[in-house]
Amino acid sequence: MRLALLGGTGDIGEGLALRWAYDTNHEILIGSRDPEKARTKAEEYETELSSRGVDRDVKGFENAMAADRADVIVLSVPAYHAADTVEAVADRLDDGDVLVTPATGMRRDDDGFHYHRPNAGSVTELVADAAPEDVAVVGAFHNLAAGRLANLDAELGVDTLLVGEDEDALDTVELLAESIEGLRALRAGGLANAPEIEALTPLLVNVGQHTEGLHDLGVRFQ
């Protein structure tokens, strides 16, 4: 399978790219608005993998080109770029492609981080609204600490929650998620259930900031 990480030069994109390259044989495409940056980061990922004895070809492209070539497209961009990025690549998405959105809206104040809920209900629903009708949208990977994901020495042992309306697309993303060692995927219902998932991300930051010895936190449902 071909996986594109749009905004794959950023932190969550880096983590997913490295984990999938390390744990699977899927083809990994790094997307960026700047194709040169995408290529540079792709080479960095290859070097990191190579240092661990994994020889992998990771390619960098401009976002639309990466989306065009992939079956599963992960929008690993900041929340405020999510809808723009979908629009920028929309005519490159094919019927049957799966669009995955891990972004969440956060705002910081003196007390800590808070969920900043967009009018669409959630960033996940904002992406679904912006996506072409024949492209299935799945919300996933919202609650993963990027630093821990990108550190291949770090054990995960955490869960990620999936929301979406298309069962086949959910199955695909579940398989992709669980192909990452230490990551368990759990279903949380339809896209309308995304806000509570996205709100968990600022909570993880707040808990990490108030508890010594816990950082880059994830969550396990048990």
Q: Enumerate binding residues for a copy of itself (CB under 8 A).
A: 109, 111-112, 114-115, 157-158, 161, 186-190, 192-193, 195-197, 199-200, 202-204, 206-207, 209-211, 214, 217-222
Q: Shortest approach of a copy of itself to residue 171 CB, angstroms?
A: 13
Report residue 166 as tokens. 């298309």
Nearer Cβ to a copy of itself (52/187): 187
Rounded to a whole number of angstroms, the minimum distance from the CB of residue 55 to a copy of itself is 32
For residues 97 and 135, the answer to whether their CB atoms sit within 8 Å is: yes
For 1, counting Cβ atoms within 10 Å of its Cβ (0-12 exposed, 13-18 middle, 19+ buried), the class is middle
Closest by Cα among 51, 57, 47 to 26: 57
Q: Which is closer to a copy of itself, CB of 96 or CB of 190?
A: 190
Shortest gap between Cβ of 115 and a copy of itself (angstroms)? 6
51, with CB counted inside 10 A (0-12, 13-18, 19+), is exposed
What is the C-alpha separation between 111 and 129, in angstroms, rounded? 32
* C-beta of 6 vs 103, nearer to a copy of itself: 103
Give least dist CB 18 to a copy of itself, A.
21
In the bound complex, what is the minimum distance in angstroms from residue 134's beta carbon to a copy of itself? 22
Report DSSP state, residue 161. E
Of the two residues 50 and 209, which places its CB atom closer to a copy of itself in the complex?
209
Torsion of CA 209, 213, 217, 218, to 10 degrees: -140
Pick 102 or 202: Cβ nearer a copy of itself: 202
Whole-angstrom distance, CA of residue 158 vs CA of residue 106: 21
